Structure 1
Amino acid sequence: MKLYALLYIFLCYSGIALCQGLNESATIELGPKNLSIDQPFTISVVLRDAENRPAVLFPEIKDLEKRSKSATSSISTVDGKKVVIQTITQEYYASKPGNYLIPKFTITVNGYRLHSEETMAVFALGEAATITEREASPEAQGNEFQSINEAVFLSVLTDKKTVFIREGFALRISLYIAENAPVEMEFYRFNIQLQSILKSLRPANCWEENVGIEEIVKRKIKIKGKNYTEYNMYQARLFPITTENIVFPSIKLDMLVTDNSAAVNVEKKVVRTFRSKAMIVNVKQLPEHPLRDQVAVGQYTLRETLSSTLVYPGESIRYMFKVEGIGNIAAIPAPAVQGNSNFDIYPPEVSQIIKRSYQNVTGEKTFDYFVVPRKDGTFPLGRYFQWVFFNSQKAAYDTLRSEKSLEVKGEDYKLANLSLTGSSGLYDNIENLDSSKRGFDYKKILREITNAVVIVLLITLIWVFRK
Structure 2
Amino acid sequence: MAASLRVFFLLLLLLPGVDGAVRAQSKAGQADIVLGRTSFPVNDYFTISFRLRGAPLERYSPFPDIEGFKKSSKSSTTTTRIVGGQTSTELTITQRYAAYNEGEFELKPFSMTINGQVVQSAGGKLQVLAQQAAVPPPPAGGAVQGLGLLDKLFGKPKPQEYVEPHDNAFMALVPDKATVFVGEGVHVGLYFYLTPADQGLLSFYNFGGQLPEILRLLRQRTAWEEPFNEQEIVPETVVAGGKTYLRYRLYEAEYYPLNTQPLTFPEIPLQMVKYRVAKKPEAGLDNRMEGFKIYRTAARTITVKPLPPHPLRDQVPVGDYRLREAIDRTTFRTGKAFTYSFTVEGEGNLAALAAPVLPPLPAGVEVYGPDTELGVTRQGGRVGGAKRFTYRLIARRPGPLALDSLFSMVVFNPSTGRYDTLRAEVKPELKGAEKTVGTFSARPDDPFYQDVLESADNTLQARDAYSEVRRYANYILLVLGVLAVVGWWRSGRRSM
Q: Same fold (TM over 0.5)?
A: yes
| Change beyond 3 A, Cα 1:323–1:63 | farther
Q: Tell me the distance in 1 between the aligned counterparts of 2:51 and 2:336.
A: 57
Percentage of matched positions with identical amino acids? 33
1:281 to 297, 302, 322: 302
Structure 2, unpaired ranges of 5+: 1-49, 63-105, 117-165, 457-496
**Relative contact order, CA 8 A, sep 6+: which one is greater?**
1
Residue 223 of structure 1 corresponds to which residue in structure 2? 240
Residue 42 of structure 1 corresponds to which residue in structure 2? none
Deviations 1:426-454 (A, max 9, x none): 99756999xxxxxxxxxxxxxxxxxxxxx
Asked if residue 151 in structure 1 is aligned to residue 151 in structure 2, the reply is: no
> Which one has a bigger Cα radius of gyration?
2
| Change beyond 3 A, Cα 1:309–1:339 | farther
Asked if residue 316 in structure 1 is aligned to residue 316 in structure 2, the reply is: no
Deviations 1:60-81 (A, max 9, x none): 9999955999xxxxxxxxxxxx
Q: CA deviation at 1:391?
A: 0.9
SS state at 2:369 partner: coil
Asked if residue 380 in structure 1 is aligned to residue 398 in structure 2, the reply is: no
Q: 1:171 corresponds to which letter in structure 2?
A: V
Q: CA deviation at 1:361?
A: 0.8
Asked if residue 370 in structure 1 is aligned to residue 387 in structure 2, the reply is: no
Q: CA deviation at 1:208?
A: 1.5
SS state at 2:216 partner: helix
| Change beyond 3 A, Cα 1:182–1:346 | closer
Matches within 5 A, 1:189-204: 189-204=206-221
SS state at 1:200 partner: helix
Q: 1:364 corresponds to which letter in structure 2?
A: A
Q: RMSD between aligned alpha carbons?
A: 3.8
2:320 to 299, 302, 306: 299
SS state at 1:344 partner: strand
Q: 1:215 corresponds to which letter in structure 2?
A: E
Q: 1:314 corresponds to which letter in structure 2?
A: G
Deviations 1:329-371 (A, max 9, x none): 1111111222222310001111121101242111111111100
| Change beyond 3 A, Cα 1:293–1:113 | farther
Question: Do the aligned partners of 1:351 and 1:366 also contact (CA within 8 Å) in 2?
Answer: yes
SS state at 2:318 partner: strand
Residue 331 of structure 1 corresponds to which residue in structure 2? 352
Question: Do the aligned partners of 2:237 and 2:246 also contact (CA within 8 Å) in 1?
Answer: yes
Structure 1, unpaired ranges of 5+: 1-58, 70-111, 123-148, 434-467
Q: Tell me the distance in 1 between the aligned counterparts of 2:257 and 2:306.
A: 11
Question: Do the aligned partners of 2:440 and 2:453 also contact (CA within 8 Å) in 1?
Answer: no
Q: Tell me the distance in 1 between the aligned counterparts of 2:189 and 2:275.
A: 27
With the length of structure 1 as denominator, give the TM-score of the two structures. 0.58
Q: CA deviation at 1:401?
A: 0.7
SS state at 1:319 partner: strand
| Change beyond 3 A, Cα 1:116–1:412 | farther
Residue 18 of structure 1 corresponds to which residue in structure 2? none
Q: Tell me the distance in 2 between the aligned counterparts of 1:393 and 1:334.
A: 23
Q: 1:352 corresponds to which letter in structure 2?
A: L
Q: Tell me the distance in 2 between the aligned counterparts of 1:224 and 1:303.
A: 42
Deviations 1:219-251 (A, max 9, x none): 111122212111111111111112110011111
Question: Do the aligned partners of 1:314 and 1:423 also contact (CA within 8 Å) in 2?
Answer: no
Q: 2:267 corresponds to which letter in structure 1?
A: S
SS state at 1:411 partner: coil
1:247 to 264, 267, 271: 264
2:423 to 396, 401, 405: 401
Question: Do the aligned partners of 2:263 and 2:303 also contact (CA within 8 Å) in 1?
Answer: yes
What is the number of equivalent residue pairs in this alignment? 304
Question: Do the aligned partners of 1:236 and 1:357 also contact (CA within 8 Å) in 2?
Answer: no
1:272 to 293, 297, 304: 293
Question: Do the aligned partners of 1:151 and 1:181 also contact (CA within 8 Å) in 2?
Answer: yes
1:172 to 179, 183, 189: 189
Q: CA deviation at 1:418?
A: 4.9
Deviations 1:256-298 (A, max 9, x none): 1111256655532211111111110111111122221112111
2:275 to 232, 235, 258: 258
Question: Do the aligned partners of 2:167 and 2:198 also contact (CA within 8 Å) in 1?
Answer: no
Deviations 1:127-164 (A, max 9, x none): xxxxxxxxxxxxxxxxxxxxxx9711110110000111
Q: Tell me the distance in 1 between the aligned counterparts of 2:257 and 2:353.
A: 15
| Change beyond 3 A, Cα 1:425–1:345 | farther
2:252 to 232, 235, 258: 235
Question: Do the aligned partners of 2:60 and 2:112 also contact (CA within 8 Å) in 1?
Answer: no
Q: 1:356 corresponds to which letter in structure 2?
A: R
Q: CA deviation at 1:315?
A: 0.9
| Change beyond 3 A, Cα 1:282–1:418 | closer
2:372 to 345, 350, 366: 350
| Change beyond 3 A, Cα 1:315–1:173 | same
Q: CA deviation at 1:373?
A: 0.1
Q: 1:300 corresponds to which letter in structure 2?
A: Y
| Change beyond 3 A, Cα 1:432–1:191 | farther
Question: Do the aligned partners of 1:188 and 1:256 also contact (CA within 8 Å) in 2?
Answer: yes
| Change beyond 3 A, Cα 1:416–1:202 | closer
SS state at 2:215 partner: helix
Residue 491 of structure 2 corresponds to which residue in structure 1? none
Q: Tell me the distance in 2 between the aligned counterparts of 1:408 and 1:156.
A: 58
Q: CA deviation at 1:212?
A: 2.5
| Change beyond 3 A, Cα 1:351–1:289 | same
2:434 to 399, 412, 437: 412
Question: Do the aligned partners of 1:299 and 1:327 also contact (CA within 8 Å) in 2?
Answer: yes
